[in-house]
Amino acid sequence: MNSRTNSDLKKQIEDLQTRLRETEGNLDAIRSGKADAIVVQTEDGVKVFTIQGAETAYRIMVDNMNEGALTVDPEGVILYANTRFCSMMGVPTTYLPGKHIQEIVGEEFREEFDIFLRKTVSGGTVHQDFVFVRRDQSSFPVYLSSAPLEIAVRHDACIIVSDLTERKLHQEKLVKLNNELEFKVKTRTHELEEQKTALEQSQEQLRKLTMSLEDQVIRRTAQVRDLAKALTLAEQKERQRLSRILHEDLQQVLFSIKARFELLNDVLSDRTGEINEDIRELDRLTTKALDTSKMLAIEFNPPILRNEGLDAALKWLAHHMEQRYGLKVDICILEGFGVIRDEERVLLVQIIRELLFNVVKHAGTKEASVTVTRKEDRLDVIVEDRGTGFNVEDVKKITQDGTRMGLFSIEQRLRLFGGYTHIQSKQGEGTRIILSLPFDRSGQRLGVE
């Protein structure tokens, strides 16, 4: 018999079958690309053999990527540098492996880079800006992204390098453009502000000019009003002067003449009737002259215009018109008033008297009325008759005629005092004339005492 029994042989066969199956499995894995490397126990220990077909794709990818890539051992020795990084550094691909990385780190960054590397090999992922220096001593800014790389028992660092030169240039250009734009904006803003200031000054000047013109207009209007008032008072004073001359001078002479005629008549009373008749006629003529001068004195300066209020003046006027011309005037004052100013009272009485003369001359009636009424902001005087009436437009064209005022003139005089007239008349239907005066701007109320 053999030393090996059948069972031993069977066991050996099973063992070999197991190893064969395991080997076939490994071969399958290698063929299908599922295995990148194989670990082999050798006399020198465990060794790792990578399978060339598996790493090629990664090598091509890393070598051709647009960013720089390098691996560094914990001491800082460059183990690998891709083509892009070598191109950044301006060196051939064989130059860098084996060099210490601090040789290419900018001097002021070296301490920081040590910390960066230690963090990475300790297992951290770090991102930071640095400056690398080329062989020709030119430097360029970089952005490093690192990650630990553990292969078997080694703890290396894998570093991706992004060249920031172009980005920095773009950033600087952007900053420069931004600064230029800010400067242009500031300059333009300044110009606009200057223009705005100039415009505001022009507007202010215009506003002042407008106010000045408005002031001038107001002043001129006030001056015209004052002149109108002064004119009215001056006219009244002149009439008073003429009245005084008539009364003080002419009438005294006429009184003396009349009295002398009476004396003469008395002395010659025993003479013939003819002489007496002449003296009587002279006496009559003198009386007539005296009456005329009295009438003129009153016409020029009605006594009521001196001191009394408007109501007294109107009542006197009504009495005078009836006595002198047979015109019956109904005076109606609807409400009580405050004080009316002299020049306005004089003006109103003159105008009302003139309108009543017109009734006597043209209206063909013996009755008229004068109504005084107060509105909120003005005084209204209405002179009315039921006479023949007239065409308003035709009569307005009649201008001042001697001592008589036409309707146009009345309207103008009243306007100078800030007032107005409203004339209503129709042929055969009578006439209604409203004289309206505003309240005085100084705050005095117009009215009747």
Partner 1 sequence: MTKRILIVEDNEDMQLLYRRLFREETGFEIEQTDTGEMALEKIPFLKPDLMIIDISLPGMTGLELTKIVRERHPGIKILIVTGHEVSRYYDEAIRSGADDLISKDVGLEIAAECRKLLNGAAD
Q: Please give the residue ranges that form the binding site for partner 1 (CB under 8 A).
A: 247-248, 251-253, 255-256, 258-260, 262-263, 266, 290, 294, 303
- Give whole-number Cα distances, 206 to 197, 199, 203, 214, 219, in Å: 14, 10, 5, 12, 19
Segments in 51-164 forming alpha helices (H)? 52-64, 83-89, 110-121
- The distance in angstroms from the start CA to the end CA of the chain is 173
> Measured from the CB of residue 248, what is the shortest distance to partner 1 in angstroms?
7
Q: Which is nearer to partner 1, 263 or 285 (CB)?
A: 263
d(CA 318, CA 44): 154
Q: Which is nearer to partner 1, 108 or 266 (CB)?
A: 266
Q: Which is nearer to partner 1, 239 or 258 (CB)?
A: 258
> Measured from the CB of residue 266, what is the shortest distance to partner 1 in angstroms?
7
> Measured from the CB of residue 302, what is the shortest distance to partner 1 in angstroms?
11
Contact 76, 68 (CB under 8 A): no
Q: What are phi and psi of 310, to 5 degrees?
A: -65, -40
Q: Which is nearer to partner 1, 111 or 262 (CB)?
A: 262
> Measured from the CB of residue 305, what is the shortest distance to partner 1 in angstroms?
13
d(CA 172, CA 180): 12
Instruction: Choose among 221, 225, 222, 234: nearest CA to 346.
Output: 234
DSSP letters spanning 223-261: HHHHHHHHHHHHHHHHHHHHHHIIIIIIHHHHHHHHHHH
d(CA 330, CA 319): 10
Segments in 245-272 forming alpha helices (H)? 251-267
Contact 297, 243 (CB under 8 A): yes
Q: Which is nearer to partner 1, 51 or 290 (CB)?
A: 290
374 CB contacts (<8 Å, ≥6 apart)? 334, 335, 337, 380, 447
Q: Which is nearer to partner 1, 139 or 265 (CB)?
A: 265
> Measured from the CB of residue 253, what is the shortest distance to partner 1 in angstroms?
6
Q: Which is nearer to partner 1, 20 or 312 (CB)?
A: 312
**Quick one: DSSP state of residue 338?**
-
Q: Which is nearer to partner 1, 16 or 259 (CB)?
A: 259
> Measured from the CB of residue 405, what is the shortest distance to partner 1 in angstroms?
26
With b for 16 or more beta-carbon neighbours within 10 A and e for fewer, the 191-204 pattern comes to eeeeeeeeeeeeee
**Mutual angle of helices 407-416 and 342-358, in 10-degree steps:** 170
Q: How many CB atoms lie within 10 A of CB 379?
A: 23
Q: Which structure tokens are listed for 210?
A: 């407008």
> Measured from the CB of residue 255, what is the shortest distance to partner 1 in angstroms?
4
Q: How many CB atoms lie within 10 A of CB 78?
A: 20
In angstroms and rounded to an integer, the radius of gyration of the C-alpha atoms of the chain is 65
